[in-house]
Amino acid sequence: MTRRTNVLGVGMIKFAKPGASDDYHVMAANAARAAMQDAGVSYEEIAQVYAGYVFGDSTCGQRAVYELGLTGIPVFNVNNNCSTGSTALMLGRQAIEGGLAECVLVVGFEQMEKGALSNKYADRPNPVEPHFNVMERNQGVDSGPFAAQMFGGAGREYRWLHGTKRETFAQISVKARKHAAKNPYAIFNQELSLEEVMASPQVFDPLTRYQCCPPTCGAAAAVLCSDEFAKKKGASNPVYIKAQAMTTDYRSSFHEDSMIKMVGYDMAKSAAKKVYEQAGVGPEDIQVVELHDCFTANELLTYEALGLCPEGEGEKFVWDGDNSYGGKFVTNPSGGLLSKGHPLGATGVAQCTELVWQLRGQAEQRQVDGARLALQHNLGLGGACVVTLYGRD
């Protein structure tokens, strides 16, 4: 019988633009200290560490946590592209549920460079790239960063299928900036109008600059533990992981001539279905969602993949305001990747942090009233998608 995994403590630092942050090991250690303080545990009580990052040497995790102490414990370095943080969380949960550890630390961090899409790591092989002919056949290839071409291509395909206005994608950025304005940890705290989003330079139609997440430096951390450990620490009602699933690419990602499928739609839909089945709930039971809005097009697609609205009704969902406060689901109250920022290895753990604060009622101006179930979606092309459901009794 598996054991429940509690999120005993969380912490993060304010995200920053490249060139304006501390070194990665300083950011990671500061986030980890915040999480351990929140959990009321010392580093000596941590049995294992899962350190997530994308750009860096093979043992950056050790460099980061050695700032906390030298206790000889196992440190696992995790890299799963943009889903790295949630992958590290999943590994930590498995250690707790499997009885291998009572308390583990998960830390995600990234020190990115300006123009990250063309940085020194850009020449690494990408398992998606050999299948790029899907876009060449269907959408045509313009100039623009590779990731923007893929997600922008998916946005074009969605527009052609459903007649969606370009302004609909832009409105998602307006919502993101409005939410981020209330988040002191976000990289962008200034609101934008629809006109400003639409007038920003085009990156890859229908995406403009303000519809693409920025390169970001940052770190976040979480302390996971068993029920027995939580009781020992006097935590009577902690947030816990109610269900979790990871999927990788299906044949449909590359063999159905669909950019929507290539950027992870089927991965997300399948992972969400597994989570709902594990937990015995449906999307209608959820109050707050942190989803992977690397580009506005992906947020729109993910509404449907997660079952927040029927397929083909994403545009109505946006203009009805069902993705924000006063609507059906508050999506990305943190501002999401678009406005909070996207330090690749930290993103999944930062999503966890926001949702834990929401379920505790500690999200201050961003608080979603009555939040009891929170859904997390973290996507990395190449590919992997992790969907996690958090609850609090």
> What amino acid positions are annotated as catalytic residues?
82
Strands (E), 248-316: 288-290
Strands (E), the chain: 5-12, 48-52, 75-78, 103-110, 202-204, 207-208, 218-225, 239-247, 288-290, 330-331, 373-380, 384-391
Of residues 293, 322, 268, the one with CA closest to residue 155: 293
Of residues 221, 248, 240, 278, the one with CA closest to residue 96: 240
CA separation for the pair 282, 276 (Å, rounded): 6
> How many Å from the N-terminal Cα to the C-terminal Cα in the chain?
21
Do residues 150 and 297 make contact, with C-beta atoms less than 8 angstroms apart? no
Q: Which amino acid type is present at position 155?
A: G
